């Protein structure tokens, strides 16, 4: 592999690793970040780490204060509500208007359902959330709008930390979310648009029903 290509790959790998540490709460909201420690942990120079941190600052995942340090950004509930509302509007429009000839929805999403079931069984929050997103991405793809999902991702991934805390707070959220995924598929395949709309209203949770509970339990994690 050419040196420049390897360098670009390294930068992306470092960025992905640090972003995942933030998204899946290995690095907690408000936690101090030291580029030297991250570089040592990842066995890279400080340059790709610093570049990753600057990118994550622009994406609102970290805050950099001159003379004070670098910190994981706090969770912005208002941003999350807006992003989830936008996703709700788009996904409802797509799924409620799928052409009748669309078939084998269950077959297309089966892999993600199985992986979610395994994550629930093992209590693996990270894997559940990852496959939750892949499940919905596949639904967008089935509807012929994969690019719409990809366009949303730069903002929608901000919801991951909230959902991780939600799952940590109550294991019943796991099973409820999984059951709703199965019912969404059943409603699509049976063309039951009325039940599908009602289910999506509940599943997307635009009002963030547990927000106040999580803010009370993790007060230092939120703006």
Predicted local confidence at residue 172, as pLDDT: 81
Look at strands 62-65 and 69-72 and give their pairing.
antiparallel
**Residue ranges of the chain whose pLDDT lies below 70:** 1-9, 101-103
pTM of the model: 0.86
Predicted local confidence at residue 3, as pLDDT: 47
How far apart, in whole angstroms, are the C-alpha atoms of residue 22 and residue 30?
10
How far apart, in whole angstroms, are the C-alpha atoms of residue 92 and residue 89?
5
Q: What is 54-96 written as a DSSP string?
A: HHHHHTTSEEEETTTEEEEPPB-HHHHHHHHHHHHHHHHHHHH
CB 162 within 8 A of CB 80: yes
């Amino acid at each position: 592999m050419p040196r420049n290509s390897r360098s670009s790959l390294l930068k992306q790998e470092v960025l992905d690793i640090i972003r995942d540490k933030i998204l899946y709460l290995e690095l907690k909201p408000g936690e101090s970040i030291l580029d030297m420690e991250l570089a040592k942990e990842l066995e890279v120079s400080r340059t790709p780490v610093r570049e990753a941190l600057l990118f994550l600052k622009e994406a609102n995942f970290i805050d950099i204060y001159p003379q004070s340090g670098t910190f994981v950004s706090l969770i912005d509930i208002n941003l999350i509500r807006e992003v989830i509302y936008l996703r709700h509007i788009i996904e409802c429009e797509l799924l409620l208007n799928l052409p009748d000839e669309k078939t084998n929805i269950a077959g297309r999403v089966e892999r993600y359902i199985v992986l979610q079931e395994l994550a629930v069984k093992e209590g693996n929050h990270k894997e559940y959330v990852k496959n939750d997103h892949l499940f919905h991405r596949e639904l967008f793809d089935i509807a012929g709008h994969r690019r719409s999902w990809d366009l949303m991702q730069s903002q929608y991934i901000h919801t991951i930390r909230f959902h991780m805390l939600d799952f940590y707070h109550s294991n019943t959220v796991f099973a409820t979310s999984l059951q709703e995924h199965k019912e969404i598929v059943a409603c699509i395949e049976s063309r039951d648009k009325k039940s599908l709309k009602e289910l999506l209203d509940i599943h997307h949770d635009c009002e963030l029903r547990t927000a106040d509970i999580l803010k009370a339990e993790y007060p230092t994690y939120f703006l």
